[in-house]
């Protein structure tokens, strides 16, 4: 039998991190809000071209504009997530799914 992974806070309270498990790119509008609040570098914005292929975007340059149909967020480093849920709290389109981890 597995138990849920919990953290005991300095106050003594128990906290259950819920780690990001999925991001619905059909709903995502590429606003970038989640990227700005993620403290762990989990997320990356990519372009999607007319064939559905992902195009790497350089955050500092606009020169890629025109090569893609839309921008969407991706889980570039899901393994770095600490389960804070800041991304889903700020997402206006409810793209995120989270789950607690088992021990
Ligand atoms: S839960 Fe926190 S660490 Fe994980 S992707 Fe969202 S903002 Fe980043
Ligand atoms: S906040 Fe939501 S809609 Fe905006 S880029 Fe992130 S996942 Fe997409």
Residue nearest to atom 4 of ligand 1 (CA): 81
**Per-residue tokens: 14:** 């128990």
pTM over 0.85: yes
Closest CA to 83 of 22, 19, 39, 21: 19
What is the residue with the minimal CA distance to atom 6 of ligand 2?
A: 34
Q: Mind listing the pLDDT tens digit for each residue in 5-24?
A: 999 999 999 999 999 999 99
Nearest partner of 30 among 15, 43, 14, 21, judged by Cα: 43
Span 35-91, pLDDT tens digits: 999 999 999 999 999 998 999 887 665 556 678 899 999 999 999 999 999 999 999
**What is the rounded CA–CA span in Å between residue 42 and residue 78?**
6
Domains of the chain: 7-100 (3.30.70.20)
Identify the nearest ligand to the CA of 91 by its number.
Answer: 2
Report the atom number in ligand 2 closest to the C-alpha of 35. 6
Q: Which atom of ligand 1 is nearest to the CA of 43?
A: 5
Compute the distance between CA of residue 44 and CA of residue 52 in angstroms, rounded to an integer: 17
């Amino acid at each position: 039998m597995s138990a849920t992974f919990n953290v005991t806070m300095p106050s003594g309270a128990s906290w259950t991190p819920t780690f990001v498990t999925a991001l619905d790119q059909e709903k995502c509008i590429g606003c970038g809000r989640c990227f700005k609040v993620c403290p762990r570098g989990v997320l990356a914005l990519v372009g999607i071209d007319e064939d559905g292929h992902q195009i790497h975007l350089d955050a500092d340059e606009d020169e890629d504009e025109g090569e893609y149909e839309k921008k969407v967020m991706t889980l570039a480093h899901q393994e770095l997530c600490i389960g804070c849920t800041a991304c889903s709290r700020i997402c206006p389109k409810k793209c995120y799914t989270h789950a607690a981890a088992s021990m």
